[in-house]
């Protein structure tokens, strides 16, 4: 079988492409501004190599903070325009406030506006080209899903919203079945006997195998998969793609061979990494506590006006190795909020006070937890500590839930920056998937990513 491969960009390739072309367009814009106008604030010459490098660093950092490299958002021009305007506004402000590294402020202040609008225009022109070209159907990766029908809806749904360029165009049942073909949002089921023909006819670029009972796989399909593998056709396991694209561990698809999915990061036992992490925890928590003392008078006034009662709230949580500890927070709910029993906090929860809602949204209610970090009960980054009642409940329902306790809980974490506030068992399952992904892959790089994403969460007021 001959198969003509199309051009496809992986998730990582598109993110790198966005970053590189943003920098190219910024420098091209500055060069054109120098060439065709009297702009002299930032000349494109070798003597300005440090200010030019600084500009590139700022573009990368603030582009990340304001989610210019989120592929879902990058595919929508209106959202891109909003994020770009915010990112460049903050970038220019920081660039002007670092005069020892960036150029001295120009005498003609209008040049700052030229600089500002050139950066926005240059990047936005590239983003228009990106949505029209890279995000067009010609670059879609067309996928054939091969597996059993028992969980087809969950399989497709999980990947459907993760990458706009990843299109599952059809499904092939790998097990013997006398039932009618399934119908799921236009997803066609192809007969097993036409496997090889379907790949060519539908221009499939990758086969995704989601068979959780390999012994039940039809012999014909099994042999076709081996033949494709021998010919170099791309065949991938569903759980591998799920983890790579969604950046969380698919525990709902893990069976008796669960140990294959949890080869935890060597950083968990790396003494140098743990030393740096603890040093960062101490420095950051001291800074956080100083900031907390500065804003405490404002919190006190706000508490008197819209949150009457004690300022602080102490609650028992479960920490590393399932040991309980006392967590400190700024109170956001009415006094005796749980007199009717323990229940999930949910959106629009009437127990949350007016000022408490602001504290949650801005994440200021978490500031006292810097004391927990300083004590060593928590880390800056890790799974959020949960209450004993919910830990007991969730451990009975969700497999591997206790595994999140093998490291210290955190003030922020991979689940906090990627998932919404946990207000149900389904939300807790999703957050556990992210937590296990972090434990599995934790490193200085992913820690830095979490810090950047946390800034985005705070800036876009996504707290609850």
Q: At 136, list the tokens.
A: 């067009």
User: Nearest 5°: phi and psi at 307?
Assistant: -160, 45
Mean pLDDT of 226-249: 88
In this prediction, residues 37-56 reach a mean pLDDT of 91
For CA atoms 338, 343, 344, 350, the dihedral sign is negative
pLDDT above 70 for 117: yes
Please say if the pLDDT value at position 379 is more than 80.
Answer: yes
Residue keyed to tokens 């800074």? 287
Q: How confident is the model at residue 185 (pLDDT cuts 50, 70, 90)?
A: low
Q: In this model, does residue 337 exceed pLDDT 80?
A: no
In sequence order, the 6+-apart residues with CB closer than 8 A to the CB of 113 are: none
Residue 3 has pLDDT above 60, yes or no: no
**For residue 366, what pLDDT is reported?**
92
Asked if pLDDT for residue 350 goes beyond 70, the answer is yes
Please state at what angle helix 49-65 crosses helix 11-36, rounded to 10 degrees: 140
Better-scored residue on pLDDT, 435 or 339: 435
Output the pLDDT for position 279. 95
How far from chain centre, in Å, is Cα 451?
11
Packing angle between helix 49-65 and helix 444-459, nearest 10 degrees? Answer: 70
Please, which residues bridge with residue 146 across strands?
172, 209
DSSP string across 78-138: HHHHHHHHHHHHHHHHHHHT-TTTSPPPPSSTHHHHHHHHHHHHHHHHHHHHHHHTTTSGG
Torsion-angle region of 69 (φ positive above 0: left; ψ -120 to 50: alpha; else: beta): alpha
CA distance 366 to 347: 18
Q: Tokens 């008078």 correspond to what residue?
A: 297
Distance, CA of 181 to CA of 162 (rounded, Å): 26
Both ends of the chain: CA-CA distance in Å? 54
pLDDT, tens digit, for every residue of 307-320? 888 899 999 999 99
| Listed range (75-89, 256-270, 404-418) with the worst mean pLDDT | 256-270
């Amino acid at each position: 079988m001959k198969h003509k491969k199309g051009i496809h960009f992986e998730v990582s390739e598109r993110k790198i492409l966005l970053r590189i072309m943003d920098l190219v367009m910024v420098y091209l814009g500055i060069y054109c501004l120098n060439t065709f106008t009297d702009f002299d604030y930032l000349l494109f010459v070798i003597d300005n190599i440090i200010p030019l490098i600084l500009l590139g660093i700022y573009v990368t950092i603030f582009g990340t903070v304001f989610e210019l490299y989120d592929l879902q958002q990058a595919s929508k021009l209106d959202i891109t325009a909003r994020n770009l305007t915010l990112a460049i506004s903050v970038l220019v402000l920081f660039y002007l406030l670092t005069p020892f590294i960036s150029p001295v402020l120009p005498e003609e202040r209008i040049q700052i506006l030229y600089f500002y609008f050139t950066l926005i225009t240059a990047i936005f022109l590239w983003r228009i080209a990106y949505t029209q070209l890279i995000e067009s159907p010609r670059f879609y990766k067309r996928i054939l899903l091969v597996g059993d029908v028992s969980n087809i809806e969950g399989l497709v749904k999980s990947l459907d919203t993760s990458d706009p360029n990843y299109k599952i165009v059809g499904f092939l049942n790998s097990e013997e079945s006398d039932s009618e073909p399934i119908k799921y949002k236009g997803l066609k089921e192809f007969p097993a006997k036409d496997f090889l023909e379907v790949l060519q006819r539908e221009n499939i670029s990758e086969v995704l195998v989601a068979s959780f009972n390999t012994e039940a796989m039809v012999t014909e399909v099994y042999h076709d998969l081996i033949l494709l593998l021998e010919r170099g056709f791309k065949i991938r396991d569903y759980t591998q793609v799920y983890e790579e694209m969604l950046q969380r561990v698919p525990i709902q698809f893990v069976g008796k061979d669960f140990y294959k999915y949890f080869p935890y990061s060597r950083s968990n036992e790396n003494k140098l990494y743990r030393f740096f992490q603890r040093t960062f925890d101490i420095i950051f928590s001291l800074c956080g506590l100083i900031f907390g003392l500065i804003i405490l008078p404002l919190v006190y006034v706000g508490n008197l006006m819209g949150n009457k009662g004690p300022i602080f709230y102490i609650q028992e949580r479960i920490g590393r190795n399932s040991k309980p500890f006392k967590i400190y927070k700024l109170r956001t709910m009415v006094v005796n909020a749980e007199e009717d029993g323990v229940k999930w906090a949910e959106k629009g929860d009437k127990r949350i006070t007016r000022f408490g809602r602001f504290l949650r949204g801005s994440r200021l209610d978490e500031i006292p937890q810097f004391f927990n970090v300083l004590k060593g009960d928590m880390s800056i980054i890790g799974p959020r500590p949960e209450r004993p009642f919910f830990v007991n409940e969730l451990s009975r329902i969700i497999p591997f839930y206790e595994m999140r306790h093998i490291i210290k809980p955190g003030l922020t974490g991979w689940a906090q920056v990627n998932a919404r506030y946990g207000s149900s068992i389904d939300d807790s399952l999703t957050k556990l998937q992210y937590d296990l992904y972090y434990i599995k892959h934790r490193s200085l790089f992913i820690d830095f990513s979490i810090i950047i994403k946390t800034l985005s969460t705070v800036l876009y007021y996504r707290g609850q």
